[in-house]
Chains A and B, each alone.
Chain A
């Protein structure tokens, strides 16, 4: 039985309650962007560059313009007044390319938008695109960040011939001394390959300009509607208060819908030019080539330790493949990796150098985990290699180096303060669930039989709940308005913008418990800038920890007002509000929320210093990030004949603090783990030397399918965070962060009998089969 039936007096928080948002989704009646239709609406289709680097010699749009049903064709020259795609991250000395919404003079990635056709239907718009003739002068491209940094490489932007967008240095402690005093130093180059986020719904935009009242309505598949509003209004010189952005039903994001994209600006611009509503829906091919990618690291690690396994210091040289231009967070993502490079270990000395490299590829940006999977993969691989070097058990070396419980709040060498933790608890729990000692014995037997059995551990930490505003590019607070309507029913207007994470349910649970109302009497609304207060959005595992806390404090304000009305109506100064009732502690008389709401709106009489109505708004600024942690344990067997990795057991023990709805938390863990396993074993954006994406469709880019996924045994330890009153830390990205090192450590362990010490992802059957065949030859 997955879900629980709730009686009205029971607490809602902590229950496996099925989601409030599901009825519209399981009946096919939800409204995604492509489901929006407007009278007179036109369709846009975009011509994109087939070359990764080329000068545009000429564009002939005459045939497309002449096609029946085509209303307009625009090229880069036409859109010069529209401004560039915005980047919110800043670093000292950062070189920011001006990325126009349509290419002008030259293209620098496959998929670069060159022209747009607007027509009466989507078929004609695509026909129009086919009729545009572009003459290109093709140049050599560079699609690999290490090659881009080599002398003589093609310059992605001619004004910066070294392809270096920025360099960044950070250190803490005394890393030179740590390395001088070390008994052992382990070095390894570790890559974290380019990935393609691939939400099942591609991006899409409907722009509807109403000239008479100077109002823009922009419907877009985004995770951050207010950010899109502020940026596009500013770029096009429109009035922000008349610019409405709606994120309708959004079919997944995973970080790839935080950005403000060229198409959002372009569609708004077209709607103004043509005075018509216009729709653009991204094709899957466009999603592969034109939406942001994730990861793209080449890391050079060195770890220094004493012979007893005590880690003294870590050095990292990080090459970040940035792509050809920046979206909202592009250059900031690798700095997150540096912040989290110590992992869960006490490591007092660190040094990191980032080089951001331009390549003729789409920008990298936040993809589920955003910088932390790369960091965790690095430290967790290095710790395993260190254990192997010292002939220690990988569990033992981790337990030895974890930050101790009494050391919280723990200041790290990278300048963070870890909030709270019991880092050994999930690892011990995972080992207990797995029967770790018995597994190691089984492994000895399996090896005698010639089997490649591996046991992999990962103890991960992450930085979540973004975040204190000074540490974020666009503010890190969150907002909430709660209205108790005259009927006593409750409406929540939240600044976050969920798209599958289930806050319509978890927020209703919080409201139910705080106000003592039934969950069916609560409605949670989001994603419309004309309806909800200004919000930052849903990303970085922040929605419940930051947005839920804004809700919590708005509810406290409301409860104080309810109590005042209760005191007035019960004619008592000794009133308690609990379980949805104001009760006089002397007379025992009581009145419920419904009665109080009716009185507050009828306003025949009002408490002192209190106005009519029951509405509260709270903007909450978090004092710190939260730092969830956990341990994943993976048992694998590699088939020596085929190179296939079979995951025999997958154990995930996560500590995300208090759990509001275990059903939803499990779902987040499963989905996160799937994306982490996808990176470990199959997924990779492969570019050839000409900058062509070889894995540009689902046929070639191996997304996990149902039969490829193992059964995930999920469990939790609970260490509430002191950062917010709910004690919640965030769980959206945990699974992804824990999975890739756990799987790779397991496979490396399996193949260690062949002398394997490290393998770079993805661990495809072809790669492993070649390796096994080669070493056995």
Chain B
């Protein structure tokens, strides 16, 4: 997880989100619905964005996981984090870790997405504060900063 190897014995029913938050102590990913409909718990599992509230921890044995805590490197924010900050892509911040992780996947699949492609990409993640417009701007700005 985020470049560090963890080893724990866990109950088979322990969800990945609870493993990350309660066992490993990474509280950046949030629990918004427990039904994979809101995306606040989005993390990257073996290179793909997943909703960690509907994955068992034991399914991730040997996997490579990236959480919001692993996005900034050497004290420097990731370009997507900078873009969310600059464009006011968050208000209460609860959905934000998931939004940033899904943005990473959107841009990895399409370096220069259109507004409609961005909105489609964000569809699995709910935000109640922003009306999404500044999030769309943030994804665009992140694409631009990455050279698209």
Q: Which of B68, B97, B119 contacts A706 (CB 8 A)?
A: B119
Name B7-50 residues within 8 Å CB distance of A: 11, 13-14, 18, 21-22, 26-35, 37-38, 40
Given that A200-B128, A674-B132 are known contacts, is A19 also in contact with B85, CB under 8 Å in the complex?
A: yes
In the complex, A613→B6 CA distance in Å? 51
Task: Determine whether A172 belongs to the interface, using a CB cutoff of 8 Å to chain B.
Answer: no
Say yes or no: A712 contacts B131, CB within 8 Å. Answer: yes
Say yes or no: B123 contacts A705, CB within 8 Å. Answer: yes
Say yes or no: B88 contacts A2, CB within 8 Å. Answer: yes
Q: Which residues of A contact B116 (CB under 8 A)?
A: 707
Q: How far is the CB of B100 from chain A (nearest CB, A)?
A: 7
Say yes or no: A25 contacts B86, CB within 8 Å. Answer: no
Q: Mark A530-553, 1 if CB is under 8 A from B, else 0.
A: 000000000000000000000000
Say yes or no: B35 contacts A27, CB within 8 Å. Answer: no
Q: Which of A28-36, A290-298, A388-396, A447-455 contacts B (4 or more CB under 8 A)?
A: A28-36
Q: Which of A18, A32, A697 contacts B85 (CB 8 A)?
A: A18
Q: Between A and B, how many residue pairs show CB distances below 8 Å? A: 182
User: Chain B residue with minimal CB distance to A707?
Assistant: B119
Q: Which of A22, A201, A666 contacts B30 (CB 8 A)?
A: A201
Chain B binding site: helix, strand, loop or mixed by DSSP?
A: loop
Q: Which of A463-471, A496-504, A573-581, A598-606 contacts B (4 or more CB under 8 A)?
A: A496-504
Q: Which residues of B contact A18 (CB under 8 A)?
A: 85-86, 88
Say yes or no: B132 contacts A500, CB within 8 Å. Answer: no
Task: Determine whether B56 belongs to the interface, using a CB cutoff of 8 Å to chain A.
Answer: no
In the complex, A22→B97 CA distance in Å? 12
Given that A2-B141, A251-B30 are known contacts, is A25 also in contact with B134, CB under 8 Å in the complex?
A: no
In the complex, A699→B81 CA distance in Å? 29
Say yes or no: B132 contacts A27, CB within 8 Å. Answer: no
Name B98-148 residues within 8 Å CB distance of A: 100, 115-116, 118-120, 122-123, 125-137, 141
Say yes or no: B93 contacts A30, CB within 8 Å. Answer: yes
Given that A26-B90, A670-B133 are known contacts, is A706 also in contact with B118, CB under 8 Å in the complex?
A: yes
Q: Which residues of A contact B30 (CB under 8 A)?
A: 32, 34, 200-201, 251
Q: Which residues of B contact A752 (CB under 8 A)?
A: none
Task: Determine whether B77 belongs to the interface, using a CB cutoff of 8 Å to chain A.
Answer: yes
Q: Which residues of A contact B95 (CB under 8 A)?
A: 200
Say yes or no: B92 contacts A199, CB within 8 Å. Answer: yes
Say yes or no: B28 contacts A28, CB within 8 Å. Answer: yes
Name B31-80 residues within 8 Å CB distance of A: 31-35, 37-38, 40, 67-69, 71-72, 77
In the complex, A198→B93 CA distance in Å? 14
Q: Which residues of B contact A698 (CB under 8 A)?
A: 33, 35, 37-38, 126
User: Chain A residue with minimal CB distance to B118?
Assistant: A706
Q: Which of A22, A25, A500, A706 contacts B136 (CB 8 A)?
A: A706
Say yes or no: A200 contacts B29, CB within 8 Å. Answer: no
Name A183-234 residues within 8 Å CB distance of B: 198-202
In the complex, A187→B34 CA distance in Å? 46
Q: Which of A22, A32, A709 contacts B90 (CB 8 A)?
A: A22
Q: How far is the CB of B101 from chain A (nearest CB, A)?
A: 10
Task: Determine whether A9 belongs to the interface, using a CB cutoff of 8 Å to chain B.
Answer: no
Q: Which residues of B contact A249 (CB under 8 A)?
A: 92-93
Say yes or no: B132 contacts A709, CB within 8 Å. Answer: yes
Q: Mark A687-714, 1 if CB is under 8 A from B, else 0.
A: 0000000000111000111110101100
Q: Which of B13, B21, B129 contacts A671 (CB 8 A)?
A: B129
User: Chain B residue with minimal CB distance to A30?
Assistant: B93
Q: How far is the CB of B69 from chain A (nearest CB, A)?
A: 5
User: Chain B residue with minimal CB distance to A672?
Assistant: B131
Given that A29-B28, A201-B30, A667-B130 are known contacts, is A19 also in contact with B88, CB under 8 Å in the complex?
A: yes
Q: Which of B68, B115, B119, B126 contacts A27 (CB 8 A)?
A: B68
In the complex, A664→B134 CA distance in Å? 10
Say yes or no: B38 contacts A500, CB within 8 Å. Answer: no
In the complex, A672→B91 CA distance in Å? 12
Q: How far is the CB of A496 from chain B (nearest CB, A)?
A: 15
Please, could you name 29 A-B residue pairs with CB atoms under 8 Å apart, sorted by A?
Answer: A2-B137, A3-B86, A18-B85, A21-B93, A26-B77, A26-B100, A28-B27, A28-B68, A28-B69, A32-B30, A121-B22, A200-B40, A200-B94, A200-B127, A200-B128, A201-B92, A251-B92, A251-B94, A252-B129, A281-B31, A284-B35, A284-B38, A667-B88, A671-B91, A704-B132, A705-B126, A707-B119, A709-B133, A711-B115
Those 9 A-B pairs whose CB atoms lie nearest each other, nearest first: A28-B28, A251-B94, A25-B93, A500-B92, A670-B131, A674-B131, A28-B68, A500-B91, A698-B37
